[in-house]
């Protein structure tokens, strides 16, 4: 199957700083990537859909200016948490769709990034 890699896997930062998380598709080109946030009670919340070469589409209630998403190439999408605060602490997971799996809708997930804001 296709491989998606996230970096860093965990990060601790001070309140008010910005943190960038990278999501890479290692062996396929991903025109679309998705960013999820996972809350302590397991549920996955879709934050945004990242499209290569265009602006991301954010889900209702997600602050565009706080969670900046850039998808500059077919293998890389980045999520930047700007001016992070403790309430932004969470597990962020990216996923991508290999075009060869478009018909089934299957997504491939990164390992996740644990953000802790002090």
Partner 1 sequence: GNSVTQMEGPVTLSEEAFLTINCTYTATGYPSLFWYVQYPGEGLQLLLKATKADDKGSNKGFEATYRKETTSFHLEKGSVQVSDSAVYFCALSDPIQAGTALIFGKGTTLSVSS
List the x/- string, 6-45, binding to partner 1 by CB under 8 A: x-------------------------x-x-x----xxxx-
Say if strands 108-109 and 44-51 run parallel, antiparallel, or are unpaired: unpaired
Q: Which of 3, 17, 26, 111 binds partner 1 (CB under 8 A)?
A: 111
Q: Which stretch binds partner 1 (CB under 8 A): 62-70, 71-79, 81-89, 92-100?
A: 92-100
Nearer to partner 1, 36 or 67 (CB): 36
Nearer to partner 1, 1 or 14 (CB): 1
Q: Does 102 bind partner 1 (CB under 8 A)?
A: yes
Site residue total, partner 1 (CB under 8 A): 27
Which residues contact residue 102 at a Cβ distance below 8 angstroms, ignoring those fewer than 6 apart? none
Residue 101, φ and ψ in degrees, nearest 5: -115, 20
| 36 class by beta-carbon count within 10 Å (0-12 exposed, 13-18 middle, 19+ buried) | buried
Of 53, 52, 79, nearest to 68 by C-alpha is: 79
- Is the preceding omega at residue 8 within 30 degrees of 0, hence cis? yes
59 secondary structure, DSSP code: P
Residues binding partner 1 (CB under 8 A): 1, 4, 6, 32, 34, 36, 41-44, 46, 49, 93, 95, 97, 102-112, 114
């Amino acid at each position: 199957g296709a491989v998606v890699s996230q970096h860093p896997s965990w990060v601790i930062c001070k309140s008010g700083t910005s943190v960038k998380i990278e999501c890479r598709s290692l062996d396929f080109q991903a025109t679309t990537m998705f960013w999820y946030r996972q809350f302590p009670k397991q549920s996955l919340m879709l934050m945004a859909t990242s499209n290569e070469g265009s602006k991301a589409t954010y889900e209702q209630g997600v602050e565009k200016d706080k969670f900046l998403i850039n998808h500059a190439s077919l293998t890389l999408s980045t999520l930047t948490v700007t001016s992070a605060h403790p309430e932004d602490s969470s597990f962020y997971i990216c996923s991508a769709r290999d075009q060869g799996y478009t018909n089934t809708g299957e997504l491939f997930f990164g390992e996740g990034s644990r953000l802790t804001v002090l």
